Chains A and B, each alone.
Chain A
């Protein structure tokens, strides 16, 4: 039979980019301001375009995965047997459970509480860390749309703190293109001082400045990020396309799930039924 080629009509590439990640919903909870509460889900707003590879076992091309390994028992440890510990002295740990972790900020888990609003242009871009989108879940569509619309009209962003996983974040929730974007911010104490690298004294260089301004004027444009592409990514994709034509891709053997055979009742019932089937045959 023939080889497959990419779907040109709709730009969908046969090559799958990146690792398969969970669909939807990094976090779900409520976003609130004063007495209004909106049920939402946090989803990704950006996706790294870097071509990602999987590490494979050269013997059988089976995918490798990072697992936690107990050096004492020389064996892989099941996630259920893993616990967090804080090292107070070398070799001495204080154990912390998930419930204890979540309990440290009980009011903030599952809620993004906007405590105040600020003007977006007051925020120095150095504060921005990572962007996400918030999407409304059932019942919250109207209140969500309201918040988006009023923040757009007033050109304000909401400041809040919320706990995701192990960390607490300071976030700015803003209106973006008809949706709510949530940007995590760095705490002030995390921003390193720049005094020691800022030039001390030095002439104003007025002539040089004037000359530079003239050049800048000639080079003015509007921000259009689509103009720029990741060259390395393109080269890697070209390499991959070339290799795909030369050789058939290798296939990894089927992976058995670690969980075991299945629920005990089912296994027992299957064993019994199989016994009867074999007897008949």
Chain B
């Protein structure tokens, strides 16, 4: 297997196993993955910046064993930016921060196909930058049912004065983001708020929504996982690849797109593959940019 040395921003990186096929059913090698991330870099980097990274590594490909890695590998190059985070028991741990292209490439060379990040940045780990609604369909529900729920949720939130943005999870679900981007609120607040919202959604649309995690409640319903609003939880980063049969991306959608797909009953439209992701992003720019900059306040708290 080949080894290649590249130079990015004056830094040397040794890339390995470039021909290794990490998506064997589809045919997508490590080189392809690196290329994807290189092209999506300018869109994904702002969403990764200063967030304690959890790597999800698939060294033998997406159909074999994976492992999570929260600690920044000790064999990292000296220029990889890191941060110290607190864990339980007063212990501290060093995590990787992907703040530049070269670190993104380095991480991808470790076959960390999926990138998971917390909702808060390292400097202020108890202050979420946004509130999320993780819409997770039950076994018998589809992404289109999720779309219906997302559209109702967006309507409800806008009546409370909150603008929200949606992305595909890259699997069967959707993620709704409500940007906050200010100091005032903690995870306690976002958790409480999102829970209240989830409960009222369940009360009013019992055949569509559940706010309870137990599998028995899900089946044909969409589970609104409000508990993701926690300093210890991570979400798949927007624009990250998913380790599924095909290299599908967790991709932002315009509300209009979601409405069209729901109306046309076309779930395919909501599965964005790597090539489409790059083309769309390059053409339209980062649709989720507002998630990082828009300042909103949670009312009634």
**Bound-state Cα–Cα, A101 to B197, Å:** 40
Query: Are A10 and B69 closer than 8 Å at their CB atoms?
Result: yes
B74 touches A10 (CB 8 A): yes
Asked if B300 contacts A274 (CB within 8 A), the reply is no
Contacts of A261 in B (CB 8 A): 196, 199
| B residues near A256, Cβ cutoff 8 Å | 212
Mask, B44-80, CB within 8 Å of A = 1, is 0000000000000010101111111111011100000
Inter-chain contacts of A81 with B (CB < 8 A): none
- Contact indicator B212/A270 (Cβ below 8 Å): no
Q: Given contacts A1-B243, A2-B63, A47-B89, is CB(A281)–CB(B152) below 8 Å?
A: yes
Task: Determine the distance from Cα of A30 to Cα of B216 in the docked complex, in whole angstroms.
Answer: 51
Question: A-facing mask of B85-101, CB < 8 A → 1, else 0?
Answer: 01111100000000000
Q: Which of A134-167 contact B (CB under 8 A)?
A: none
The interface-forming segment of A19-27, A204-212, A241-249 is A19-27
Interface membership of A12, Cβ < 8 A: yes
User: Is B68 within 8 A of A273, CB to CB?
Assistant: no
A-side interface size class = 35 or more
The CA-CA distance from A10 to B201 in the complex, in Å, is: 43
Bitwise, A247-270 to B at CB < 8 A (1) or not (0) is 000010110110001110111011
Any chain B CB within 8 A of the CB of A9? yes
Task: Say yes or no: is A278 at the interface (Cβ < 8 Å to chain B).
Answer: yes
Given contacts A7-B68, A251-B215, contact A271 B200 (CB under 8 A): yes
Does A121 count as interface, using CB distance less than 8 angstroms?
A: no
In the complex with contacts A2-B64, A2-B66, A43-B90, A269-B300 CB distance below 8 A: yes
Are the C-beta atoms of B68 and A4 separated by less than 8 Å? yes
Instruction: Say yes or no: is A44 at the interface (Cβ < 8 Å to chain B).
Output: yes
| A23 interface neighbour in B86, B152, B301, Cβ under 8 Å | B86
Q: Are A7 and B67 in contact (CB under 8 A)?
A: yes
Task: Tell yes or no: A277 within 8 A of B by CB.
Answer: yes
Interface residue from B66, B87, B155, B212 paired with A280 (Cβ < 8 Å): B155
Q: Given B67, B89, B212, which contacts A5 in the complex, CB threshold below 8 Å?
A: B67
Find chain B residues with CB under 8 A from A254 CB. 211-214, 227
- On chain A, the residues within 8 Å of B301 by CB distance are 263, 266
Residues of B near A276 (CB, < 8 A) are 159
Say yes or no: B300 contacts A253, CB within 8 Å.
Answer: no
Q: Which residue of A lies closest to B72 (CB)?
A: A10
CB–CB A6/B67 < 8 A: yes
- Given contacts A4-B68, A7-B69, A23-B90, are A274 and B214 in contact (CB under 8 A)? no
Cα-based distance from A6 to B71 in the complex (angstroms): 12
Tell me whether A35 is interfacial, beta carbon within 8 Å: no
Q: A6-B67, A10-B69, A47-B89 are in contact. Are A1 and B160 (CB under 8 A)?
A: no
Is B10 in contact with chain A by the CB < 8 A criterion?
no
Complex: chain B residue closest to A46, CB-CB: B89
Q: Determine the chain A residues whose CB is within 8 A of the CB of B69 once the complex forms.
A: 7, 9-10, 12
Contact check, B213 vs A266: say whether CB atoms are below 8 A apart. Answer: no
Known A-B contacts A254-B214, A266-B193; the reply to A12 vs B71 at CB < 8 A is yes
Q: Which of B195-234 contact A (CB under 8 A)?
A: 195-197, 199-201, 204, 211-216, 227
| Complex CA–CA separation, A266 to B90 (angstroms) | 35
The docked-state distance in angstroms from the alpha carbon of A10 to that of B95 is: 12
Smallest CB separation, B169 vs chain A (Å): 15
CA distance A169 to B212 in the complex (A): 45
B184 at the interface (CB under 8 A from A): no
Identify the closest chain B residue to A41 (Cβ).
Answer: B90
Q: Considering only CB atoms, which chain B residue lies closest to A132 in the complex?
A: B90
Distance between A58 CB and nearest chain B CB, rounded to angstroms = 16
What is the CB-to-nearest-CB distance from A85 to chain B, in angstroms, rounded to a whole number?
Answer: 32
Please judge, given known A-B contacts A274-B156, A277-B159, whether A1 and B192 are in contact too, CB under 8 Å: no
A257 touches B195 (CB 8 A): yes
Contacts of B216 in A (CB 8 A): 253
Asked if B196 and A270 make an inter-chain contact with CB atoms under 8 angstroms apart, the answer reads yes
- What are the nearest 4 A-B pairs in CB distance? A254-B213, A253-B214, A262-B196, A2-B65
22 interchain pairs (CB within 8 A)? A1-B243, A4-B65, A6-B67, A10-B71, A12-B71, A21-B89, A24-B90, A44-B90, A253-B213, A254-B213, A254-B214, A256-B212, A263-B301, A266-B193, A266-B301, A270-B160, A273-B159, A273-B160, A276-B159, A277-B156, A277-B159, A280-B155
Can you name 4 extra interface pairs (CB under 8 A) apart from A3-B65, A12-B69, A266-B193? A133-B90, A263-B301, A266-B196, A270-B200
Interface residues of A (CB under 8 A from B): 1-7, 9-10, 12, 14, 20-21, 23-24, 43-44, 47, 60, 133, 251, 253-254, 256-257, 261-263, 265-267, 269-271, 273-274, 276-278, 280-281
